[in-house]
């Protein structure tokens, strides 16, 4: 069975601070995908990034960066110089590779509040 | 805008009733997924269709059913509704069934309130 744990239920920081959201996953699959989604107050789920299990390179996109470490089964997300618009619930998700079928297993989410 | 359209945005109904939630995937996407988001269960996968064929089932109740039509839109039918069915229901779509073609893009959701 697959499981995703986001131990931080809520995080509150002041604007311009850096913040890291933790994600730890469990799977027996050797091939899988990891994702981060953002859910702003408006409610929709916005795709941020996908990583496959063979690609452990860190990724940077503007103020966002992701650190994938297979050895610790973690896929952490860092926001640099946070802004109020980053306030949202962030979900980490795991997709086991299954031929012809796919589902996302989500963590419980981390509510991030950026205060001005 | 993800390109995935869900209607209606809000639905208020009574216990015991039946409702239908509709989803139009992004142009070119053949896969449709349904998820339920509730306070106690979080985001849970319900069901996956690819080009009209059911591909995977999650924790979907027997009172719930779904289908994907030839024009690729999908409907989720919820019957004999209970208070606990109140939740945000998301539809997502992707190009293919899995793997490299599997980035799921989500609609804005349908918020169901059962009174």
pLDDT digits over B1-15, tens only?
Answer: 889 999 999 999 999
Indicate the average pLDDT of chain B. Answer: 94
pLDDT digits over A27-47, tens only?
Answer: 988 888 999 999 999 999 999
Residues in chain B closer than 8 A to A6 (CB atoms): none
What is the average pLDDT across B82-95? 96
Indicate the average pLDDT of chain A. Answer: 93
- CA dist B69 and A51 (Å) reads 31
Residues in chain A closer than 8 A to B108 (CB atoms): 42-44
Residues in chain A closer than 8 A to B90 (CB atoms): 45
Give the residue from chain A lying closest to B94, CA to CA. A102
Is there a contact between A39 and A90 (Cβ–Cβ < 8 Å)?
yes
CB contact under 8 A, A43 and B88: yes
Is there a contact between A92 and A35 (Cβ–Cβ < 8 Å)?
yes
Joined together, the tokens standing for residue B62 give 């027997």
The pLDDT value recorded for residue B100 is: 62
What is the average pLDDT across A72-97? 95
Helix or strand (DSSP H, E) at A88: strand A88-96
Out of B48, B106, B111, closest to residue A103 by CB: B48
């Amino acid at each position: 069975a697959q499981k995703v744990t986001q131990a931080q239920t809520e995080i509150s920081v002041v604007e311009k601070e850096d913040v890291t959201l933790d994600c730890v996953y469990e799977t027996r699959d050797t091939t899988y995908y990891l994702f981060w989604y953002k859910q702003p107050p408006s409610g929709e789920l916005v795709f941020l990034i996908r990583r496959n299990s063979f690609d452990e390179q860190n990724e940077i996109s503007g103020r966002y960066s992701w650190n994938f470490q297979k050895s610790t089964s973690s896929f952490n997300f860092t926001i640099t110089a946070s802004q109020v618009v980053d306030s949202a619930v962030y979900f980490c998700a795991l997709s086991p590779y299954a031929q012809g079928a796919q589902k996302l297993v989500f963590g419980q989410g981390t509510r991030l509040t950026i205060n001005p | 805008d993800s390109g995935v359209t869900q209607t209606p945005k809000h639905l208020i109904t009574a216990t015991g009733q039946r409702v239908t939630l509709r989803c139009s995937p992004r142009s070119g996407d053949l896969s449709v997924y349904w998820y339920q988001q509730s306070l106690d269960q979080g985001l849970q996968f319900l069901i996956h269709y690819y080009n009209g064929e059911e591909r995977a089932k999650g924790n979907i109740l027997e009172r719930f059913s779904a289908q994907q039509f030839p024009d690729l839109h999908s409907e989720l039918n919820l019957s004999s509704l209970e208070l606990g069915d109140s939740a945000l229901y998301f539809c997502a779509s992707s190009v293919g069934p899995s793997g490299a073609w599997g980035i799921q893009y989500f609609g804005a959701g349908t918020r169901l309130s059962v009174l």
